[in-house]
């Protein structure tokens, strides 16, 4: 499948049209941003890590019954995905306190929750992705009640599958962000990416952070953390 025109450039990916209106090609960049794009940088090799890891995890999720936008990997950085209309919700699942959960509610990082915490933000950079609940999302007509129920169910299923998978890799899945899309027939599928940009990964033994927090918080060894996550997921051949 051939790329035609560029449809969109986001902070970490570009999206191209193809000769088939059902599909688009995403191209992952090494660019990194944080704090609504106010902090900018480059993480060498990140595009390839995120592309390959996200594709691998989406295929695993599809096997477990979670429908996704994934179609086929073209090369290290580029993937064919189904064209969807993105639901403007950032769906966050948390297993352990960290990041904004810790700062917003004034608790330390590392508290293990009895059950996963599910939260929604309105995907809107100008408004700084404000936290919202189901009534807010319905009032704003971001999704229907049925779609929100489907999204909630799928997000919790993704958590079960990924938590178990990363445990085998010696990694604790602390939290992550998902995005969902609508196919032309109305079906909701998992979209966007699942990568060290969108998840918190802590080494199960040492607690070392192996994700984008190394960039957000200037912890150093950013590239090394992305490569280490590749090895954890794909083994030494990564
Ligand atoms: P938070 O604690 O900053 O709300 O982040 C929760 C999870 O969501 C964390 O794994 C990082 C991810 N995330 C994104 O993917 N994009 C974002 O813009 C933000 C703020 C967080
Ligand atoms: N990439 C996001 C931004 O620039 C934030 C983040 O991942 O922390 O807004």
Predicted confidence (pLDDT) per residue in 87-109, tens digit: 999 999 999 999 999 999 999 99
* pLDDT tier for residue 236 given thresholds of 50, 70 and 90: confident
What burial class does residue 34 get, using C-beta atoms within 10 Å of its C-beta: 0-12 exposed, 13-18 middle, 19+ buried? middle
Quick one: 161 exposed, middle or buried, by C-beta within 10 A (0-12, 13-18, 19+)? middle
Contacts of 115 (CB under 8 A, 6+ apart): none
Closest C-alpha to ligand 1, atom 13: 198
- The predicted-structure confidence for 161-173, as pLDDT tens digits, reads as follows 999 999 999 999 9
Query: Model confidence over 134-162: pLDDT tens digits?
Result: 999 999 999 999 999 999 999 999 999 99
Pocket test for ligand 2, best of 33, 41, 128, 212 (most atoms within 8 A of CB): 33
Q: How far is the CA of 120 from the centre of ligand 2 (A)?
A: 16
Distance between CA atoms of 54 and 13, rounded to whole angstroms? 13
What residues line ligand 1, using a CB cutoff of 6 Å?
92, 98-101, 175-177, 198-200
Q: Is the pLDDT of residue 14 over 80?
A: yes
| pLDDT on residue 206 | 98
């Amino acid at each position: 499948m051939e790329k035609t025109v560029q449809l969109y450039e986001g902070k970490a990916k570009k999206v191209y049209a193809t000769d088939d209106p059902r599909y688009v090609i995403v191209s992952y960049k090494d660019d990194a941003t944080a704090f609504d794009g106010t902090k900018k940088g480059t993480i060498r090799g990140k595009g390839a890590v995120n592309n390959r890891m996200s594709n691998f995890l989406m295929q695993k999720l599809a096997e477990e019954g979670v429908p996704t936008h994934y179609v086929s990997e073209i090369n290290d950085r580029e993937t064919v995905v189904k064209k969807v209309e993105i639901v403007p919700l950032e769906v966050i699942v948390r297993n352990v306190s960290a990041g904004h959960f810790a700062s917003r509610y004034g608790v330390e990082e590392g508290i293990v929750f009895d059950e996963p915490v599910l939260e929604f933000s309105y995907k809107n950079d100008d408004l700084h992705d404000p936290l919202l609940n189901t009534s807010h999302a319905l009032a704003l007509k971001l999704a229907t009640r049925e779609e929100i129920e489907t999204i909630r169910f799928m997000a919790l299923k993704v958590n079960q599958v990924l938590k178990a998978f990363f445990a085998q890799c010696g990694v604790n899945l602390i939290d992550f962000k998902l995005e969902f899309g609508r196919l032309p027939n109305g079906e909701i599928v998992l979209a966007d990416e699942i990568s060290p940009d969108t998840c918190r990964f802590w080494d199960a033994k040492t607690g070392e952070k192996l994700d984008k927090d190394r960039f957000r918080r200037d912890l150093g060894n950013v590239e090394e953390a992305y490569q280490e996550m590749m090895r954890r997921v794909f083994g030494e051949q990564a």
